[in-house]
Amino acid sequence: MKQRERQAMIPVIGSKVDVVLIALQLFLIARIGFRAVSRVLGVLGKHFGLTKAPCPQTIINWIARLSITRIQHMTHLARSHVSGDPFSNGFLWIIDTSIALGAGKILAVLALNVCHHHLGNGAPSLQSVHCIAVSVAISWTGDAIADFLQKVIAVSGRPVGFIKDGGSDLAKAVRVLGERGFPSHSIDDISHMIANLLKHEYGNHPLLAVFMSACGKASQKLKQTILACLAPPKVSTKARFMNLHRLVLWADRLLKHSPVGRAAKGSLIAKLRASLDQLPACKTFISRFLRDAAPLLECQKILKVKGLSSKTSKECESLIEVIPPSSPVRIGFKKWSKKHLKIAETLGVADTGLPISSDTIESLFGVAKRHGTGETKDANRIAARLPALCGQVTEEDARRVLEVSVAQEEEVMGSLSSLTKQRRQILPNPGCLDNMILSDTNQNLELIPMSKNRSKSPIILNISEHYTKTKGPVISLKNRNIDHARSRSLELTMAG
């Protein structure tokens, strides 16, 4: 008993690395705020052997330094050899842009192993990807995105492909990179593809406007009543066709609560019918939309979890048989599937599955905008935390955070424009609006990997790999750079 008592008195936290690790896990995994992390450590610290809990600003600095170490001091990423593209870096890059409060627009680049569905189970998550670059600008055009991606390629190598939504700017960026000598496959996100198919088929349907108006009126009549639980779900008007199926499915289920026949006066069925407006007149639109959308959404679920392969492609073909062969929706889906299955065969992942979803980067933007930003959704503040939210948190990460100096953090984060700072300086002082232009010039964030000749910092980041299995030889960026240099030298010799 005495021996056990002595063992119980040994502090759990033995060093500052342990404190940093627990703080990072509370923020990134438990997802509680900076002040909450400090309070939790203050309450439980005495049981862990912690004499003083870090303040919220210290935890904010640790998160910023984690982002710095995961990007600027990256040396290599373990990757799988791609037989169809041996000179690539073995990764798919998921790219997307997002807006925030202010004039800044965020561009992020996530790296996902092309053999994800062979190495891991399920759909890619934030722990499966690495944020390798992020930048904020006033606007992003196709050429500007291509310029930024080319800078990242110069250090990290060329990806095997880009996963993106249907935006014309992203499509142009991939095309421009190919014209500049950096060709990569273009993979269209399945969610946006299906939404576009439904939009082209039903966007100009004569009953769509009637249906949307009836849903709005039904919502007004059902709320604040005993039937409030039957109110329609909230669907964003932006990118409507990505969530319209939820509203149509609600309407289909609601109409089934109103059977044919006369309803007693004052009954709940009578009250429900009084709230339906013109929904019963939209039954043909509802049934046809569900006929096309339901099988496509089932295919989407399968492909997101398992990837696009020869096996999943056949599963999807059997699901969409309920859609008429002449339907543009069915024809468009088969065309997309055939095109991307050919890409999977070229990359050698047709048997295991090709990742075809950009949900990971959309989830990353969503988490970054909600978690740790406060009321002011500043683009630079959000972008600075994107790399920290990707990958797994390890003890090695905590050590590297402590190795980042205050000067290094100030060099990256100290000169960024801040809406909170501008609000404090401008709002109470009339007549100083012009100072906003001066303080906001060239003050946006840009984090990209650093080559060896750009830094002599002793900090070395060996990003932890989420997967346990590998396919083919594991090649570091160092070896890839040597191979690239040899191939480039051979090209110059032959050109000479």
Condensed to tens digits (0 to 9), the pLDDT of residues 450-460 reads 765 444 333 33
Mean pLDDT of the chain: 84
Report residue 410 as tokens: 């100030």
Residue recorded with tokens 């110069």? 154
- Rounded Cα distance between 461 and 387, Å, is 13
Residue 263 pLDDT? 83
Report residue 368 as tokens: 């970054």
Q: Name every residue whose Cβ is closer than 8 Å to that of residue 244 and which is 6 or more positions away in sequence.
A: 198, 235, 289, 293
Is pLDDT above 70 for 485?
Answer: no
Mean pLDDT score, 445-451 = 80
Mean pLDDT score, 427-451 = 71
Hey, which residues does 112 pair with through a beta bridge?
A: 92
pLDDT tens by residue, 85-121: 777 888 999 999 998 877 789 999 999 999 999 887 7
* 346: three-class secondary structure by DSSP: helix
The pTM score is: 0.83
Question: What proportion of the chain, given as a percentage, has pLDDT over 90?
Answer: 59
pLDDT tier at 282, thresholds 50, 70, 90: very high
Residue 10 pLDDT? 62
pLDDT tier at 449, thresholds 50, 70, 90: confident
Residue 8 pLDDT? 64
Residue type, position 154, single letter: A
Half-sphere exposure of 397 (CA within 13 A, CB side): 27
pLDDT tens by residue, 372-405: 877 778 888 899 899 999 999 999 999 999 998 8
Residue type, position 355, single letter: P
Instruction: Report the 10 Å Cβ neighbour count for 462.
Output: 14
Residue 57, Cβ density class (10 Å: 0-12 exposed, 13-18 middle, ≥19 buried): exposed
Residue 335 pLDDT? 96
Residue 124 pLDDT? 93
Residue 332 host element (H or E): helix 328-347
CATH numbers and ranges of domains, the chain = 2-54 (no CATH), 74-188+357-393+412-489 (3.30.420.10), 190-355 (no CATH)
Say which range, 188-202, 402-416, 424-438, has the weakest mean pLDDT: 424-438
- Rounded Cα distance between 177 and 156, Å, is 15
Residue 45 pLDDT? 82
pLDDT tier at 447, thresholds 50, 70, 90: confident
Angle at the Cα of 55 (from 52 to 59), degrees rounded to 5?
115
Mean pLDDT score, 305-320 = 95
Residue 227 pLDDT? 92
pLDDT tens by residue, 141-166: 999 999 999 999 988 889 999 999 98
pLDDT tens by residue, 464-474: 334 444 444 44
Is pLDDT above 50 for 415?
Answer: yes
Most confident of the ranges 70-84, 251-265, 438-452: 251-265
pLDDT tier at 437, thresholds 50, 70, 90: low
